[in-house]
Structure 1
Amino acid sequence: MATDIKTTAHAVEATSIMKLLRTRPQLLALGEPTHGEETLLDVRNDLFRQLVEEEGYRTIAIESDCMAGLVVDDYVTSGTGALDDVMEHGFSHPDLGLGASAANRELVRWAGEFNDGRPASEQIRFAGFDGPLEITHAAGPRQALTSLHGYLSARVADADLLPCTAETLDHLLGDDDRWADPAAMMDPAQSVGQSAEAQQLRVLADDLVALLDAQSPHLIAATSRDDWDRARLYGRTATGLLRYHHWMADASPSRMARLVGLRDQMMAHNLLALAERGPTLVHAHNTHLQRDKSTMRMWDQPLLEWWSAGALVNSCLGEGEGYAFVATALGTLRHQGVDTPPPDTVEGLLHALPEDRYVIDAPRLAAALGDTPPAPRVSPWFGYAPLDPAHLARIDGLVFLKNVPGS
């Protein structure tokens, strides 16, 4: 068995991953089993550099706010802003330390340096593909909605085609603090998502997106494809946030399952738009990228089940040329109480191999393990999600790190 497993293992390099795939996918998804570990982000950075230099990849998308990500993209493509400010304002999820991460800072610095002096067609692009959502609250739709309205009002010749004025939007949006109230996450009655104003905003947002689509030939010619794509992002974000807030106000038992599903749906829509741009490396938690149904337990809720962004994108683009998924698994995370994995788990079998890190041919590993997969590993720490052995055959590759030291 050990010999069979070793034949599936290769060096952690972009070429090793690409050899596992039939062709270069538009979206190459690299998952991680936990957040906030610099070692995992360093591996991501190394693979992205290789994908840029050897495989023609030009976009990296991470699990961060899509609107905030525009700040980073402007910096790496045109040098807009100062690096310290970009790291502070260009990343979401402060509880995960995305903006404070040395690896994320190095990624942004390197991308800006790579782009210096290159034509736009050859530059690296940066994207957040998550919605403006945190575990404790959801942002209001003001920024996305007013940015979309501003783009259209400045360029659509017939003002009567606009469904409302900027003043109407401002009045309906009201106080931004109402939208981002953390109390609404736990108590649907505290949400403004099903108020009369919110219902009217959903209609107006839909009409603004419809106008953007209807005027696309004129708008692309009058501005640029990039500007129009950014306006589409505003539209997706506005409608997605208003839908999310609507269901935050729902008191049914399926409320949380619906919300986690809506979040991944927003992610999927952003990824499909990025796939139109060109080959993209996507980095996020394994549960957002896997093809199989995702599960999670939150607070005192029943087990939540939903289709991840990766599963949704895979169903649209197809496996191979469209979407590929490489998961990451690890042996130890001792600073979080995750010690040597039991030998009868997938992680335990891989931990017994001599080198510190590998790229594993996951389907071949699944075949080597036979019809009865090993027992799932159980993590003593909630922040780390072990690999589900039943998913191996639906993973294109597996990055395994034997030990992850504390950051």
Structure 2
Amino acid sequence: MATDIKDMAHALDASAVMGLLPARPRLLALGEPTHGEDTLLDLRNGLFRQLVEQEGYRTIAIESDCMRGLVVDEHVTSGTGSLDEVMEHGFSHGWGAFAANRELVRWMRAYNVRADNDGRPASERLRFAGFDGPLEISGAESPRQALTALHGYLAPRVDADMLPCTAETLDRLLGSDDRWTDPAAMTDPSQSVGQSAEAGELRVLADDLGALLDAQAPHLLAAASRDALDRARLYGRTATGLLRYHHWMADGSPARMTRLVGVRDQMMAHNLLAVAARGPALVHAHNSHLQREKSTMRMGGTPLEWWSAGALVSARLGDEYGFVATALGTIRHRGVDTPPPDTLEGLLYALPEDRCLIDAPRLATALAGTRPAPRVSPWFGYAPLDPAHLADSDGIAFVKDVPQS
């Protein structure tokens, strides 16, 4: 069996990834089984460069706040803001502190400027997108920024009579942002304002503003750029998603957490479909957000199951969605030592390469009837691959050892 697996191992590069897929996907998703390791971020950066230079990819989307991501996109496309400012304000989840993310932004900006400082045509420029909602595990942002930005885009461009409300009405209904961001609401539904009368009115207004945006799209395209319209659509998606998320934060039923994790991945999926409409993109996030099978986790002792963003997008795009999961051998500084030989990671660890790409469906066929044992992680921050769902990935990027950053 080791010999058979060795025959399935390829160099981990863009051409090998493309060779596993039936066609060039609009979204090529690269998952990771843990966050915060520069080795995995460097791997992502290298693959993105190859996709840009060899396959014509122009966008990268990462698991970061979609609203903050606009700051990064403005910088890489037009040079707005300093690199330090962009790293501080353009990322969520602490991603701005990672050297590999800084290098990604620096390289994208340099690519767009070109050596002659003339700047690339708009159609050739690299773009950046965050595709997560403005959410953290401890709570969610106020919908104020997204709602007021959407209203602010529409107000000067459509007849006042067409607007469902004034900016003052939105401000009154939103109230203090502290009400929306109170961390106590994550563990105590009674502390959430998500099902208040004001929140109910805001959900209707967000829907009406989004409908008006769609109804006036031909006029808005003539009056401003497509990028501006796309940004307004992002505001609309984000406002609607945040209000839905806050609504379920106020829910006291047993399905509360399942609803919340599902809404988050729905927001991710909608953002990814918008990215796909712009052209081929590399997507980078945790395996659990990009896989085609159902995602599972335990939170507070409660098992949760929901469809990931990748599963939702794959259902829409079919073969235009490709997914490569990353598997790891060791993360010794986290207590993750050499994998047992009867696990999937253990079989891959026996290969001589430090990094390789495996044809996942072919490996699943070779292992039929002798399914590897599931690996058990001693550290909560690392999720091994589930061998039962091996064939649901197009490939496996295997990294033998992850040194401390």
Q: TM-score, normalised by structure 1?
A: 0.98
Distance in 1 (CA, whole Å) between partners of 2:289 and 2:331 is 21
Q: CA deviation at 1:370?
A: 1.6
Query: What is aligned with 1:123?
Result: 125
Distance 2:90 2:321 in 1: 26
Distance 2:102 2:389 in 1: 33
Distance 1:374 1:80 in 2: 50
Aligned residue type for 2:234 = L
Q: Say yes or no: does 1:247 pair with 2:248.
A: yes
Taking the aligned partners of 1:387 and 1:185, their CA distance within structure 2 comes to 29
The equivalent residue for 1:284 is 285
Q: Distance in 2 between matches of 1:326 and 1:352?
A: 20
> Residue 330 in 1 paired to residue 328 in 2?
yes
**CA deviation after TM superposition for structure 1 residue 367, in Å:** 1.1
Separation of aligned partners in 1, 2:299 and 2:221: 44
| Cα deviation 1:108-152 (Å, max 9, x = unaligned) | 000000001101110000000000000001001000000000000
Number of the residue aligned with 1:99:
96
> Matched residues in 1 for 2:350 and 2:361: separation?
19
In 2, distance between residues paired with 1:119 and 1:298?
47
Spell out, residue by residue over 1:89-124, the C-alpha distance to the aligned partner (whole angstroms, 9 max, x if none). 000012xxx000000000000000000110111000
For residues 293 and 14 of structure 2, what CA distance do their matches in structure 1 show? 24
User: CA-to-partner distance for each residue in 1:271-317, whole Å, 9 max, x for gaps?
Assistant: 011110000100000000000000011123x1100000000000111
**Within the alignment, does 1:216 sit opposite 2:217 as a pair?**
yes
Q: What secondary structure does 1:262 align onto?
A: helix
Partners of 2:224 and 2:354 lie apart in 1 by 50
* Equivalences for residues 133-144 of structure 1 within 5 A: 133-144=135-146
SS of the equivalent of 1:303 reads strand
Which SS does the other structure have where 2:97 is aligned?
coil
- Choose which of 128, 152, 155 in structure 2 pairs with 1:153: 155
Deviations 1:55-97 (A, max 9, x none): 0000000000000000000000000001101000000012xxx
In 1, the alpha carbon distance for the partners of 2:64 and 2:389 equals 25
How big is the shift at 1:154? Answer: 1.3
3-state secondary structure, aligned to 2:96: coil
Task: In structure 1, list runs of 5 or more residues that go unmatched.
Answer: none
Alignment of 1:45-194 (within 5 A): 45-94=45-94, 98-116=95-113, 117-156=119-158, 158-194=159-195
User: Which amino acid in 2 is paired with 1:263?
Assistant: R
The runs of at least 4 consecutive aligned structure 1 residues that moved more than 4 Å come to none
In 2: Cα distance, 1:226 partner to 1:111 partner = 19
- Residues 1:390 and 2:391 aligned together: no
Q: 2:367 & 2:7 partners in 1: Cα distance?
A: 13
Distance 2:354 2:8 in 1: 15
Which amino acid is the alignment partner of residue 115 of structure 1? N
User: What is the CA–CA distance in structure 1 between the aligned matches of 2:370 and 2:342, rounded to whole Å?
Assistant: 12
Corresponding residue for 1:29? 29
Question: Pairwise CA RMSD of aligned residues?
Answer: 0.6
Identity %: 78
| Aligned-residue offset at 1:20 | 0.4
Query: Partner of 2:140: helix, strand, or coil?
Result: coil
The alpha carbon displacement at 1:209 in A equals: 0.2
Aligned to 2:19: 19
**CA shift for structure 1 position 371:** 2.6
Deviations 1:335-386 (A, max 9, x none): 0000000000010000011110101111111111123310110000000000
Measured after TM superposition, the shift of residue 331 of structure 1 is 0.1
Counterpart for residue 380 of structure 1: 378
Aligned residue for 2:116? Answer: none
Q: What secondary structure, in the 3-state scheme, does the structure 1 residue paired with 2:67 have?
A: coil
- Quick one: which of 343, 346, 349 aligns to 2:344? 346
Question: How far 1:11 sits from its partner (Å)?
Answer: 0.6
SS in 2 for 1:341: coil
Alignment match, 1:8: 8
1:22 aligns to what SS in structure 2? coil
Structure 2: which 5+ runs fail to align?
114-118
Paired with 1:74 and 1:306, the residues of 2 have a C-alpha distance of 34
Q: Please tell me the residue identity of whatever aligns with 1:400.
A: F
The CA distance in 1 between the partners of 2:73 and 2:274, in whole Å, is 15
Paired residue for 1:264?
265
